[in-house]
Amino acid sequence: MFPFTRYVLASLVAIFVAFSLAVSAHAAVTHTVIATDLTNPWSIDWLDTDQALITERDGQLIQLNMTTGSRIQIHGLPPVVASGQGGLFDVRVWRDQGITWLYLSLAGPHPNGGMGTELWRGQLRGDRIEALENLFQMQRGGTSGRHFGGRIALDATHVYLTIGDRGEPDRSQDLSDHAGSIIRLHLDGSIPADNPFISTANAKPEIFSYGHRNPQGADFHPDSGQLWTHEHGPQGGDEINRIERGRNYGWPVITYGRNYGLGTPIGEGTEKEGMEQPLLYWDPSIAPSGMAFYRGEAIPQWQNQWFIGALKAQTLVRLTETERGIRQAERLFRGEFGRIRDVREGPDGALYLLTDSGRGQLIRLSASD
């Protein structure tokens, strides 16, 4: 057999196997719509198996009964500016010594004008948030309605918050500016003494990493405990990054994306000494949003894999880790649900999706019977 013929046959077999795996993985999973008519939902977390909290970008926080579908509006939230991409973003539930804390990220009014990404926490008591505390506010606001970041990640001692470049790319390389960074605080909002720039002149002490464009997905690797994030590129160049203290992730000096419409290069290329390379990037863009490492038992074949929602691509991306790094294994439910805004594992071990529209849905994924 000629080498070229062997190559063609091998390629066809590989394509067939990949297609068969994708179809079988999709076919073995069923979906159930838990809630509808949500107004541009952004994030979900759970108080317990039956009660979930869902943020809506226009500033509403809803408590949803997962069994009956009944809803309660939570009152007492801080001021929210719902403009452009801005609004109420993430919610995370944290329990400490019998207290139920809610961590909220949002676009809030800045005292010097415009708006900026903020981090708040309060105690949930009935249908109200009380003992509200502003843990963080960007030092400099902006009038742009773009690139707020807004994803929260919590570990045993720290809270991380992603912040976008606010539509002004050069701010991401300025350590005296919070824009385009990931910040790290103690759970009470105090600044950790081992933050990387705490002793750097003029640098913001909250900054943990910088050079980010608009990170909107975050979760911790189960083995290393290290924070992984993804972020939106421009025209191409969406990235997954492993976040390390003090590192520069390059935007806008290096990127795999290009200027919108024109397709012209941005910055100095795709690599530069002292700047980190992504673990994986997409070109063309998928517009990633929401990110979860799945540990649950409701879909055994998906255990220990990464899942990312996509807005532009309207799909759920499944990622696997190999000896050579992380790779895209398949894209699921293409166009079936619309824009996928958040991806979270629920307390029942299922995988949940929120769709971003004026009639958004909460969708539960589990293994088919």
By annotation, the residues acting in catalysis are 147
Q: Which helix (H) or strand (E) holds 51?
A: strand 51-56
Quick one: DSSP state of residue 258? B
Q: Which two tokens stand for residue 333?
A: 């439910």
Q: Which two tokens stand for residue 308?
A: 């990312």
Q: Which two tokens stand for residue 130?
A: 């009380």
Place of tokens 């720290």: 158
Per DSSP (E only), the strands in 187-314 are: 207-210, 215-220, 227-231, 238-242, 280-282, 288-294, 305-310
Q: Which two tokens stand for residue 301?
A: 């074949």
* Distance in angstroms (rounded) separating the CA atoms of residues 20 and 15: 8
Quick one: DSSP state of residue 141? -
* Distance in angstroms (rounded) separating the CA atoms of residues 63 and 127: 8
* CA dihedral angle for residue 267, residue 273, residue 274, residue 280, rounded to 10 degrees: 70
If we measure between CA atoms, which residue out of 250, 326, 331, 322 comes closest to residue 286? 331
DSSP three-state, residue 322: strand
The answer to whether 145 touches 210, Cβ cutoff 8 Å, is no
Quick one: DSSP state of residue 284? S
Q: Which two tokens stand for residue 18?
A: 């990949």
Burial 297-308 (b: 16+ CB within 10 A, else e): ebbeebeebbbb
